[in-house]
Amino acid sequence: MKKLADIQHNFVDWYQDVIFEAELVDSSPTKGCYVLRPYGFALWENIQKILDKEIKKTGTQNAYFPLLIPESFITKEKKHVEGFSPELAVVTHAGGEKLEEAYVVRPTSETIIYHMFARWIKSWRDLPLKINQWANVVRWEMRHRAFLRSVEFLWQEGHTAHATHGEAVEMAQQALAIYKKLLEHYYAIPVISGMKTESEKFAGAERTYTLESLMPDGKALQMCTSHVLGHSFPESFDVRFQDDKGTMQVPHCTSWGLTTRTIGALVMMHGDQQGLIIPPRLAPIQAVIIPIYKTAAEKTAIIQKANEVAQHLQNANIAVHVDLNENDSPGAKFYAWELKGVPVRIELGPKDLEKNHVVMVNRAEADKTKKKQFVPCDNLITTIQALFDTIHEQLYQKALQRIQQQWHQADALSDFAHALENENGLYQTGWCGDAACEAQLKEHKGTIRCRYHENAHITCFYCKKPSVTDVLIAKSY
Ligand SMILES: [Zn+2]
């Protein structure tokens, strides 16, 4: 197995090494596209299961729309086409002929979904209409890194239509709250919620809410977004409804999405020099059992006990794997499963069998402090469940502390420009709301990640006019 690049000094290479060595992804013959290997896909499936359930609780139903969208649809919403045209992949030939109208491979599905909404929405009785799609999308990116930026990626996209603006805003905020819970309670990733500026919002949206987090290298990562679309798309696609007084109205719409990019965030946020650390509530394998034996007699007894323990854990809905590979030593197995980030290792040897206990080891603890926990076999379930919660909390708190250490208060760009450019980090400061001041940040490779709900700074970081809102500034992925 390849030695991972140094996480402290070469974070970018470490990330690349760990996602390939842990078998989350592989490269593919298609440029800019990656293969999600079974272990990586299982992680996405776990995310899907949790998120899908929460989305459905809002009364949203899943549906599926075509991958290919008539090119004319994309041009109907002016800002939308401006935002997306550089990234579009277009199908011009099919069935051996040039097509009369080309198709774009969906970069997102607003256009085709609003076309259908126009057919499905007639009266106020048809509202709200709440649809979600689990799908792949294609955006022709030039620089690629698995999970973080790739030509094709997986996501869910929610699309809703409402009778009033207030209801649409409420829906967009509700989606954001679902994402926040998912990210904090399952990914163990602390997130910051805020609103995008005019220049950073989704092409065609009235406003974009975002959840941002700060990675260990001090760069921000946009975890997901939720948009209040207002009337832009429904007007472009002739979506109308008759209100209860018989007047024709345009519905207020939202869209919101979370992608496989969040897996990249999870890898960066929790991993260490030994490899991945997957938070227990999302882990495809939550516990791995390593049988330890020397003689043939020991082997039979230990493997039998290991299988019993596994069955017992499975019955309590714990995802467990018994490593019966005969080619590797226990030490080599410890190493391999640490690399894959399995949160709990269970060791079972002859002495443990005698005492009717197992040894549990917490993956999240640094090597030097790693303590072995001897757990009586009668106590397995409650102990391991408590250990999962402990690991989750340890991961969350560690990430939170690191974010707080890298979160700086600043008054003037001249005070933090150098640090932003050379040391990364998150800078909270005041802003007058003017795009010209915002544009100054480009020179220092930073952007306003979001408007923040505090007003701790009274003047703009650039022009010194009164601040209208605090903003958070960072470099970003
Ligand atoms: Zn200003």
Tell me the CA–centroid distance for residue 161 and ligand 1, in Å: 36
What local confidence, expressed as pLDDT, does residue 368 receive? 66
Looking at the chain, the number of H-run helices and the number of E-run strands are 14, 23
Confidence grade of residue 230 (pLDDT, cut at 50, 70, 90): confident
Q: Taking residues 394-400, report their average pLDDT.
A: 98
Which residues line ion ligand 1, judged by CB < 5 Å? 432, 434, 437, 460, 462-463
DSSP structure string for 130-188? EEEEEEEEE---SS-BTTTB-SEEEEEEEEEEESSHHHHHHHHHHHHHHHHHHHHHTS-
Tell me the CA–centroid distance for residue 462 and ligand 1, in Å: 5
How big is the CA angle at 443 (ends 439 and 448), to the nearest 5 degrees? 45
Considering the domain delimited by 11-270, tell me its CATH architecture.
2-Layer Sandwich (3.30)
For residue 103, pLDDT over 70 is answered with: yes
Tell me the CA–centroid distance for residue 475 and ligand 1, in Å: 19
Whether 224 and 450 have beta carbons less than 8 Å apart is answered as no
Tell me the CA–centroid distance for residue 417 and ligand 1, in Å: 15
> Phi and psi for 55 in degrees, rounded to 5?
-60, -40
Whether 44 and 53 have beta carbons less than 8 Å apart is answered as no
Report which DSSP code applies to 331.
H
Same topology, domains 11-270 and 407-474? Answer is no
pLDDT tens by residue, 328-345: 999 999 999 999 999 999
Whether 222 and 191 have beta carbons less than 8 Å apart is answered as no
- Say how far apart CA 87 and CA 81 lie, in whole Å: 10
Handedness of CA 295, 300, 305, 306 (dihedral sign): positive
For residue 84, pLDDT over 80 is answered with: no
pLDDT tens by residue, 153-200: 999 999 999 999 999 999 999 999 999 999 999 999 999 999 999 999
Considering the domain delimited by 287-386, tell me its CATH architecture.
3-Layer(aba) Sandwich (3.40)
| Both tokens assigned to 415 | 């005070």
- Between helix 296-315 and helix 380-405 the angle, nearest 10°, is 70
pLDDT tens by residue, 420-452: 999 999 999 999 999 999 999 999 999 999 999
Q: Write down the domain spans for the chain.
A: 11-270, 287-386, 407-474
Strands of the 220-230 sheet, one edge to the other: 61-62, 129-138, 152-162, 252-259, 220-230, 207-214, 192-195, 447-452, 469-474, 426-431, 407-409
Computed over every residue of the chain, the mean pLDDT equals 95
Strand 89-94, strand 68-70: pairing: unpaired
Q: Taking residues 366-387, report their average pLDDT.
A: 89
Fold of 407-474: Translation Initiation Factor IF3 (3.30.110)
